[in-house]
Amino acid sequence: MSDRKDMALIAELVPKGSRVLDLGCGDGEFLAFLRDHRQCTGYGIEIADANVLACTQRGVNVIQLNLEEGLALFEDQSFDVVLQLDTLQHLRNTEKMLRETARVGRTGIVSFPNFAHWPNRLHVIKGRMPITKVLPYQWYDTPNIRVATFADFEVLARRDGLRILDAFGIQSGAPVRRWPNLRASVAVFRFERGAAG
């Protein structure tokens, strides 16, 4: 999530003073933003050495873990918000992490590239995999091992008993609430564990 406007939009979903767990926190930029602008506390989780160093340099709490191993370190409902920003598409155990997110956090916020954004659809109609600002990789070297659409996530959330509190797209730093599956390159969901979950 390099775009600062995207970051500000998603930060607005995080109540001030929240205790936050940021899964796949990268260089800690977003956590530092939440700390400095929304008085949040908490931890980032990262696997990459360079990101652990960058977080340490920023003075952001970072815990070096492989998300594929789950979140055994964290108790149920021990965070106000668990973030999975641009992380889900890199995980093998996407569904398990989604359940873990809902277990550990009172609310979860997920963002990921929306594969059904119309320029992507055009690429596919022309017979090629999309290469865009949000999906900049060739099919053979992409770190995105999961590709999903805005609509796909709604289905999975329902399947896993997550209650969607808010859902919208982001395009060019602005929220997209009308036809986000078509009009937005980034999908954002805020959810909580449903009664059955």
Partner 1 sequence: MTSSVGHVTPQSLHFAEALPLQSGAQLRDYTLVYETYGTLNAARSNAVLVCHALNASHHVAGTYEGQAKSEGWWDNLIGPGKPLDTNRFFVIGVNNPGSCFGSTGPMQIHPDTGVPYGADFPVVTVEDWVDAQARLCDALCIEQLAAVLGGSLGGMQALSWSLRFPDRLRHCIAVATAPNLSAQNIAFNEVARRAIITDPDFHEGHFYAHNTLPRRGLRVARMIGHITYLSDDAMEAKFGRRIRGHGSLPVDTGNTGLAYSTQAIEFEIESYLRHQGDKFSEYFDANTYLLITRALDYFDPARAFGGDLTAAFAAAVCKFLVISFTTDWRFAPQRSREIVKALVDHKRDVSYAEIAAPHGHDAFLLDDPRYHGVLRAYFDNIAKEAA
Min dist CB 19 to partner 1, Å, is 7
Which amino acid is present at 196? Answer: A
Which string of b and e fits 24-52 if b means at least 16 CB within 10 Å? bbbbbbbbbbbbeeeebebbbbbeeeebb
Residues that bind partner 1 (CB under 8 A): 19, 41, 43, 49, 52-53, 55-57, 59, 61-65, 73-75, 78
Min dist CB 83 to partner 1, Å, is 16
Closest CA to 177 of 164, 167, 185: 167
User: Encoding tokens for residue 93?
Assistant: 């155990």
Min dist CB 155 to partner 1, Å, is 33
Q: Which whole-number Å values give the CA distances from 46 to 5, 43, 55, 62, 137, in the listed order? A: 23, 10, 9, 7, 22
Of 61 and 171, the one with the shorter C-beta distance to partner 1 is 61
Min dist CB 49 to partner 1, Å, is 5
Q: Three-state DSSP class for 114?
A: strand
Of 12 and 76, the one with the shorter C-beta distance to partner 1 is 76
User: Encoding tokens for residue 144?
Assistant: 């995105």
Of 78 and 142, the one with the shorter C-beta distance to partner 1 is 78
Of 78 and 171, the one with the shorter C-beta distance to partner 1 is 78
Min dist CB 52 to partner 1, Å, is 5
Of 56 and 132, the one with the shorter C-beta distance to partner 1 is 56
User: Encoding tokens for residue 195?
Assistant: 């009664």
